[in-house]
């Protein structure tokens, strides 16, 4: 084994953070760190922390853009920045999930359709509607507090998939699936750490209103988990992406109402 094949010697929590960063964003991380796929499960604890990065970038772009451009343009640029940061990772999951549930009747058909890299009619329509809804929800929010809201929404929405992983088994039979290693090693400690990060950031940025929105989301996520269990028998990587996207919309709607 040469020095490039050896595991990187870093504190465990820092390594978990870097694994989460490399898996959930397009930010480059050492291939030696990412090669330790057994860390993907416990690294899920830092999934909400990735919202600080994507949300922080989106908020920074919005803040800079709104000084020079109309509100609609600033929001579109902010949304584009978030998509570029993640490589449309979650949007792809939403589209695939919509295709699977829209075009499949049996569990096997749904899973097979979701595995197809091509986007179908159901996926395209769902994705367009979700992006339009996100745009209009952001446009309806007041500029005051927008930075805090964007970041808090990105953080909170990324806790929802962690909860789904904790509640359901992984169902995809494909050994090469990127999500398969996540299903191993997700402990109650990882879930609690993810919850602590999410709650702390939400309270710090949006106070009681943000906490109410987060509580609403946590009441709805188990219902989504029941839906996935009934129709698929568990979760897949695509359903995690769909969960994150719907959670963003839920938290944005809550921010508008609360």
Instruction: Return the structure tokens found at 144.
Output: 């005051």
* pLDDT exceeds 90 at position 36: no
Using one digit for the tens of pLDDT, what is the confidence trace for 206-231?
A: 999 999 999 999 999 999 999 999 99
Q: What is the predicted pLDDT for the residue at 70?
A: 97
Q: What is the predicted pLDDT for the residue at 67?
A: 97
Q: What is the predicted pLDDT for the residue at 4?
A: 47
Q: What is the predicted pLDDT for the residue at 103?
A: 87
Question: For the whole prediction, is pTM greater than 0.85?
Answer: yes
Task: Indicate the angle between helix axes 237-257 and 159-167, nearest 10 degrees.
Answer: 130
Q: What is the predicted pLDDT for the residue at 120?
A: 87
Q: What is the predicted pLDDT for the residue at 11?
A: 82
Share of the chain above pLDDT 90, in %: 72
**Range scoring the smallest mean pLDDT among 7-16, 46-55, 70-79, 221-230:** 7-16
Instruction: Return the structure tokens found at 188.
Output: 């109650």
Handedness of CA 23, 27, 31, 32 (dihedral sign): negative
Share of the chain above pLDDT 70, in %: 91
> Confidence band (pLDDT; 50, 70, 90) for 33?
confident
Rounded to the nearest 5°, which phi and psi values hold at 11?
-55, 140
């Amino acid at each position: 084994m040469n020095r490039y094949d050896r595991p990187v010697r870093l504190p465990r929590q820092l390594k978990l953070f870097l694994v989460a960063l490399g898996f959930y964003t397009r930010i480059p991380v050492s291939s030696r760190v990412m090669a330790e796929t057994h860390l993907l499960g416990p690294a899920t604890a830092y999934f909400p922390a990735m919202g600080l990065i994507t949300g922080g970038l989106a908020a920074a772009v919005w803040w800079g853009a709104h000084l020079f451009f109309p509100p609609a343009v600033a929001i579109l640029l902010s949304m584009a920045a978030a998509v570029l940061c993640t490589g449309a990772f979650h949007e792809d999951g939403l589209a695939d999930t919509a295709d699977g549930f829209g075009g499949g009747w049996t569990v096997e058909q749904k899973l097979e359709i979701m595995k197809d890299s091509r986007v179908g009619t159901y996926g395209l329509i769902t994705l367009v509607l979700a992006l339009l809804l996100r745009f209009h929800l952001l446009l309806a929010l007041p500029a005051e507090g927008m930075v805090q809201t964007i970041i808090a929404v990105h953080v909170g929405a990324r806790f929802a998939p962690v909860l789904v992983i904790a509640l359901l088994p992984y169902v995809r039979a494909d050994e090469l699936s990127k999500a398969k290693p996540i299903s191993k090693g997700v402990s109650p400690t990882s879930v609690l750490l993810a919850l602590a990060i999410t709650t702390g950031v939400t309270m710090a940025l949006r106070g009681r209103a943000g906490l109410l929105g987060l509580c609403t989301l946590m009441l709805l996520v188990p219902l989504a988990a029941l839906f996935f269990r009934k129709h698929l028998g568990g979760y897949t990587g695509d359903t995690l992406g769909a969960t994150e996207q719907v959670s963003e919309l839920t938290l944005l709607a809550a921010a508008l109402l609360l």
